[in-house]
Amino acid sequence: MLEFKRSFSVDLTEDAQKNMDETMSSLKNEMDSDEIGYYKLPQTSQEIIKKIENLDLPNYSQIVIMGIGGSNLGIKAIEQILRPYGKDIKEILYLENSDPISISLTLKKIKKDEALFFVISKSGGTIETTSAFKSVISYCDLKLEGDDAKRIFAITDENSALSEFAKHYDITEFNIPLNVGGRFSVLSAVGVAPLMMAGFDVKSLLKGAGDFIESFFDGKEAHLIEKAYYASQNVQKLPINVLFSYADRLENFTKWFVQLWAESLGKIDKNANHVGLTPVGLIGAVDQHSFLQLIIEGTRDKSVTFIKIEDFGSDLSVPDITLFGIEKTNFINNKKFNLLINAQCDATMQSLIDTKVSTDIITLDFVSPENIGSLIAYFELLTSATGVMMHINTYNQPGVELGKQILYKNLQG
């Protein structure tokens, strides 16, 4: 279960209510018309699960993922937070960047005869991904036929270049619905296929997301649309949105959020203005020692959302040891670390409230696939709602094309 609280107040004027109602209708229309497909992934991805259940898989102990951006951030996020709570989860390796040192180090960890290989790219033309794939083929001496081919999976758009590739070599293919963009695709085959094969409970993940989306469209998550309204009304005053997660293993989740928020909301709006909200991902308590000073005393241009995990499922306590000289921290002796990190979260939030910084907090009662599914759905819906209120196209990313064109020109020319 997720609990939502906030310190800022939203002035629910008639205009505000109208804006929020219209936004809800707009999202519902996106969903019902199938213009945007992520809303229905908890249902449509059931097919992926069935397909995998019926696959005749070779033995494996390792998953190798070749993908970047929307094609791996969500997988990394879910793996990192759920792994300590899973049983018999396979190792996952990621090849993403074009960094030669990373590629060399990761290639060495691959156990060819124990690995399943996932090539993930919506278009099939992602240069980092195809280059990594060729490196894996060469390093592992992977054949594109027979037993080797059974270890390779392509996750891509229908009829894409990568889909053509898969069909040609008789490689198992999973499709991403055409109405689901990369950064909204984690609950499509992109996340479901590799995570399920790694041993994660993707059914519960989808259930958590589906339940939250249903609850939202049933009008039971008013806090979400109010927060989107607050964010969109404060684009000028609070252009930076901090996500402060109090758990080391939410670091990749904050990176997933950063892509979702930055790429979706950084746009030229319908009046040709450059608009955007800048996400910053922080980890507590670590970043109390790095970034908190700036939030408290720096320019008041930030809102802060905390994520807290009520029960980490750990009884680890601070040992009851007294050390000469440093006795003054003894007050924490015998207390659980679980209590300490959450007390730090509460105290930091209170210090921000006391200094009039806009804050809100999402509390997970514990870490579970359901809760993480709900959390994913929450941020996706929040992004969609905020995008409508900012009068932008939330789902494209035209700004990155120029760099690609320059790259192709420079390298091909």
Annotated active-site positions, please? 263, 289, 404
CA angle 153, 155, 158 (to 5 degrees): 125
> Which range binds a copy of itself by CB under 8 A, 119-127, 172-180, 186-194, 376-384?
119-127
Please give, one letter per residue, the 3-state secondary structure of 328-376: HHHHHCCCEHHHHHHHHHHHHHHHHHHCCCCEEEEEEEECCHHHHHHHH
Classify residue 122 by its DSSP letter. Answer: S
Distance CA 105, CA 68 (A): 17
> Which range binds a copy of itself by CB under 8 A, 18-26, 191-199, 347-355, 372-380?
347-355
The reply on whether position 397 binds a copy of itself by CB under 8 A is: yes
Q: Is the dihedral of CA 172, 178, 181, 185 positive or negative?
A: negative
Count the residues of the shown chain that bind a copy of itself, applying the rule CB under 8 A.
Answer: 122
The reply on whether position 44 binds a copy of itself by CB under 8 A is: no
The reply on whether position 68 binds a copy of itself by CB under 8 A is: yes
In the complex with a copy of itself, the residue whose CB is nearer, 43 or 104, is 104
The reply on whether position 170 binds a copy of itself by CB under 8 A is: no
Q: What is the DSSP string of 32-64?
A: HTTSS-GGGHHHHTHHHHHHHHT--PPP-SEEE
The reply on whether position 131 binds a copy of itself by CB under 8 A is: yes
Q: Tokens 């339940």 correspond to what residue?
A: 211
Q: Is the dihedral of CA 336, 339, 341, 344 positive or negative?
A: negative
**Contact track, a copy of itself, 14-43, x by CB under 8 A:** ------------------------------
The reply on whether position 395 binds a copy of itself by CB under 8 A is: no
Q: Letter for the amino acid at 222?
A: A
> Which range binds a copy of itself by CB under 8 A, 24-32, 53-61, 207-215, 310-318?
310-318
Considering only residues 244 through 273, tell me which ones interact with a copy of itself, judged by CB under 8 A: 246-249, 255, 258-259, 262-263, 265-268
In the complex with a copy of itself, the residue whose CB is nearer, 40 or 267, is 267
Considering only residues 290 through 309, tell me which ones interact with a copy of itself, judged by CB under 8 A: 290-302
Contact 185, 44 (CB under 8 A): no
> Which range binds a copy of itself by CB under 8 A, 29-37, 39-47, 194-202, 318-326?
318-326
Q: Letter for the amino acid at 16?
A: A
Applying CB under 8 A, among 341, 361, 376, 377 the residue interacting with a copy of itself is: 341
Q: Which residues pair with 117 in a beta bridge?
A: 64, 152
The reply on whether position 64 binds a copy of itself by CB under 8 A is: no
* Smallest separation, CB 385 to a copy of itself (Å): 18
Applying CB under 8 A, among 179, 215, 233, 278 the residue interacting with a copy of itself is: 278
Applying CB under 8 A, among 137, 150, 207, 363 the residue interacting with a copy of itself is: 137
* Smallest separation, CB 372 to a copy of itself (Å): 15
Main-chain phi, psi angles of 66, to 5 degrees: -110, 110
With residue 281 as reference, give the H or E element that holds it. Answer: strand 278-283
Considering only residues 184 through 243, tell me which ones interact with a copy of itself, judged by CB under 8 A: 235, 239-240
Secondary structure E strands in 79-220: 91-95, 115-120, 152-157, 172-176
